[in-house]
Amino acid sequence: MATVTFRFYEELNDFLPSSRRKTAFCYACAPGETVKHAIEALGVPHTEVELILVDGESVGFDRILTEGDRIAVYPVFEVFDVAPLLRLRESPLRVTRFVADAHLGALAAKLRMAGFDTLYDNHFDDDEIEALAVAERRIVLSRDRELLKRRAITHGCYVHAQKPAEQLREIFTRLDLFASARPFSLCMACNAPLREIAKGDIETRVPSDVFAGHARFVTCDVCRRVYWEGSHWRRMRALLDELASR
């Protein structure tokens, strides 16, 4: 058994017990243990990690730990350019799309309203989420560390915030989604594209006061829901405008 020293940075400390946060600490590793296994044994999902340095040298998840190694573990960087170093994933996903676990239904709806393809079903089990992430190259959103530790899941975000609006802010900031948002282009209920529909075609599908008070409507051809610029729309627009201004 070898003894190594770990130091985790920034928000990765949230996964650690208080005695190990923002400080170097010793860890006894088994023979042949990889740095990935050790990081996850300490409670940090690999999807949260962007850069690992061992004795100042950038390494991959498969690096075998040896006696005396000093390991620095960093999260995704927002401003620091780590391109010259070894990143742990081949490249970002070409299209930003998500699959959310059963605890994040409200966040999934808000992401859809912001225009991001987001799969959600509160009956999805972990195997289904993993399969969707792999087959459709989706980012997994979860508050379940064990799900994010699955080897096949290469892109994921542990959601720290509790309230949906704060969760949306967290994901927008972490993944820098501001420029790629396409508000009100997807159905909040079923994730299908919305299209504009003539007012005369929806008279029997909305309340009479809504029909009288609005000129523009959009609809989903899958679930046939109709959307208009009501109070919910305005609240969501205000939230997206606030995110864009940060």
CA angle 212, 216, 221 (to 5 degrees): 110
Mode of pairing for the β-strands spanning 217-220 and 226-227: antiparallel
How many structural domains are present in the chain? Answer: 3
- Is residue 139 situated within a structural domain? yes
Which residue range is the domain that position 27 belongs to? 2-75
Residue 77 has a pLDDT of: 58
- Pick the last residue of a domain from 42, 75, 108: 75
206 and 165 in one domain? no
**What is the token pair recorded at 157?**
């975000």
Owner of token pair 């975000």: 157
Residue 174 has a pLDDT of: 87
CATH number for position 11: 3.10.20.30
- Pick the last residue of a domain from 19, 40, 75: 75
52 and 115 in one domain? no
- Is residue 84 situated within a structural domain? no
- Pick the last residue of a domain from 155, 180, 205: 180
Q: What does the pLDDT profile of the chain (246 residues) look like in tens digits?
A: 899 999 999 999 999 999 999 999 999 999 999 999 999 999 999 999 989 999 999 999 999 999 999 999 998 754 444 444 555 655 555 578 999 999 999 999 999 999 999 999 999 999 999 999 999 999 999 999 999 999 999 999 999 999 999 999 999 988 888 888 898 999 999 999 999 999 999 889 999 999 999 999 999 999 999 999 888 788 888 887 887 776
Asked if 73 and 20 touch (Cβ cutoff 8 Å), the reply is: no
- Is residue 186 situated within a structural domain? no
